[in-house]
A and B are shown apart, each in its own frame.
Chain A
């Protein structure tokens, strides 16, 4: 699969712990696990709270808003990304707290800046899941 932006959309490999997370992405929803005991929002998704050790965790729906914590423009790619460069790999800091690795989709990735507000978009893998990526807040999904 390829997104409108020309980026490949490799499918993840859901596990017993992450199946619900990935199924939600296919519906255009970014879920975050939150600890029932200490309310810590957890990333990466796992049914275990690394803050307190609890194994009771509930899913909450992320707002999808965040800011760029850091990014890099890959000038060449490998594997499925062989012909995709240049593209931006980033850590986006979500409103809910976690900094998550992702792509920021942009026509001119070199013009992105740390601190820039971004909004989640979903790119369907065709295998019952979607990749959560981000674009500049206020722009279109290019």
Chain B
């Protein structure tokens, strides 16, 4: 069974704020849920399936109660920043199986203003913490820097090439009034920003923001009755890539497995993609993912991103036209939801006119969660216009 054409994204909403000290985590979940439902032309009473991560209380148990939902399906698949793309895939499969009709997926987080929503260990920690926790790792950047060093060593990738990815995102963020970093930057400015963890500079890193987002996935019969443009779910692929019993390879991501699964289900290939939302926790995340999804050969990502390839509307592969996690928003330290939302905007023709890709029929959204140097979730979605 395939999910191709069995479900549609009918509503999407990105919280407009980037620092939200005055609202609780659950309030932000409610903000984005109501925003996405209003966008779809639906109400809370229409929702019969709910998806969220593990960040709020008891996950979907706590949130279904807070939101007053009556659900036949809930799912709290936790694969870090890629969770929300997995949720859309799982929602589409549940809809295709007849288990539900209207699925709500929400994300909220407040890492900028508080530790509310901090995802700590519950119960006994798994063993890796004692073999990775003593070396002075400063969050994700240390891990992603390890991948960047190795990629540079094997393929000659340069800091200038990585910086070019940030520059492209910043050119898009200029057109987004809600972007956390709304100003264009140059390659030189990226390279002159302070080194955080060699070879990654401060501007190779994404922003830290409060916020959230939500999408509504619905059955074809529900979607047809709504006024909004229909965004068809064409394919979904997901995986976990881990250290593989001490044989970790830092030069590729889980996208090498999730990408082909999604393309196969959609009956499409990389050349069919008009717009791509590529997870951009760091510049190296984008570069490796582009290679792994087949937009260029392994090791050629550095060459691929040059000459404005990623810049909308006319680059070879316009990416992250909202400014991405690198410049716009990385709510809750999780960029997956905003990857879906900007792909929906592009397919509806509702991206900012300066970055709207002409005749955008096929969009790819890719999420990465956890750490590229240890264990990561990778999820790829292919979405299309109604006739795709």
Q: Report the bound CA distance from A9 to B138 in whole Å.
A: 16
The B-contacting residues of A in range 73-116, CB under 8 angstroms, are 73-78, 80-81, 84, 87, 89-91, 97-103, 110, 114-115
A-contact bits for B302-346, CB 8 A (1 contact / 0 none): 000000000000000000000000000000000000000000000
Asked whether A131 lies within 8 Å of B134 as measured between CB atoms, the reply is yes
Q: Report the bound CA distance from A59 to B243 in whole Å.
A: 20
Chain A contact surface mostly:
loop
- B388 on the interface (CB 8 Å rule)? no
Beyond A17-B127, A98-B246, whether A70 also contacts B197 by CB under 8 A is no
Asked whether A15 lies within 8 Å of B127 as measured between CB atoms, the reply is yes
Q: Report the bound CA distance from A18 to B142 in whole Å.
A: 25
- Residue of chain B at shortest CB distance from A114: B153
Beyond A41-B246, A44-B127, A99-B248, whether A10 also contacts B134 by CB under 8 A is yes
Q: Report the bound CA distance from A89 to B250 in whole Å.
A: 14
- B145 on the interface (CB 8 Å rule)? yes
Beyond A7-B136, A15-B127, A45-B127, whether A89 also contacts B146 by CB under 8 A is yes
Distance in Å: Cβ of A134 to nearest Cβ of chain B: 11
- A50 on the interface (CB 8 Å rule)? yes
Q: Give the contact-size bracket for chain B.
A: 35 or more
- B177 on the interface (CB 8 Å rule)? no
Chain A residues in 8 Å Cβ range of B198: 72-73, 75, 110
Asked whether A97 lies within 8 Å of B247 as measured between CB atoms, the reply is yes
Asked whether A12 lies within 8 Å of B134 as measured between CB atoms, the reply is yes
- B196 on the interface (CB 8 Å rule)? yes
Distance in Å: Cβ of B242 to nearest Cβ of chain A: 9
Distance in Å: Cβ of A112 to nearest Cβ of chain B: 10
- A122 on the interface (CB 8 Å rule)? no
Contact of A101 (CB < 8 Å), options: B135, B139, B148: B135
The B-contacting residues of A in range 20-66, CB under 8 angstroms, are 40-46, 50-51
Asked whether A71 lies within 8 Å of B149 as measured between CB atoms, the reply is yes
Most buried by A among B132, B199, B247: B247
Chain A residues in 8 Å Cβ range of B41: none
| 26 CB < 8 A contacts A-B | A12-B131, A18-B130, A40-B245, A42-B246, A43-B243, A70-B146, A70-B150, A70-B153, A72-B145, A72-B148, A72-B149, A72-B198, A73-B195, A75-B198, A76-B196, A78-B139, A84-B136, A91-B250, A91-B373, A98-B246, A99-B243, A99-B248, A100-B131, A102-B135, A103-B136, A131-B134
A8-B136, A74-B197, A78-B139 given. 18 additional CB < 8 A pairs?
A: A12-B133, A13-B130, A42-B246, A43-B131, A44-B127, A44-B128, A44-B243, A45-B127, A73-B195, A75-B194, A75-B197, A76-B196, A78-B136, A84-B136, A89-B137, A89-B146, A103-B135, A131-B134
B: residues with CB less than 8 A from A are 124-125, 127-139, 142, 145-150, 153, 194-200, 243, 245-248, 250, 373-374
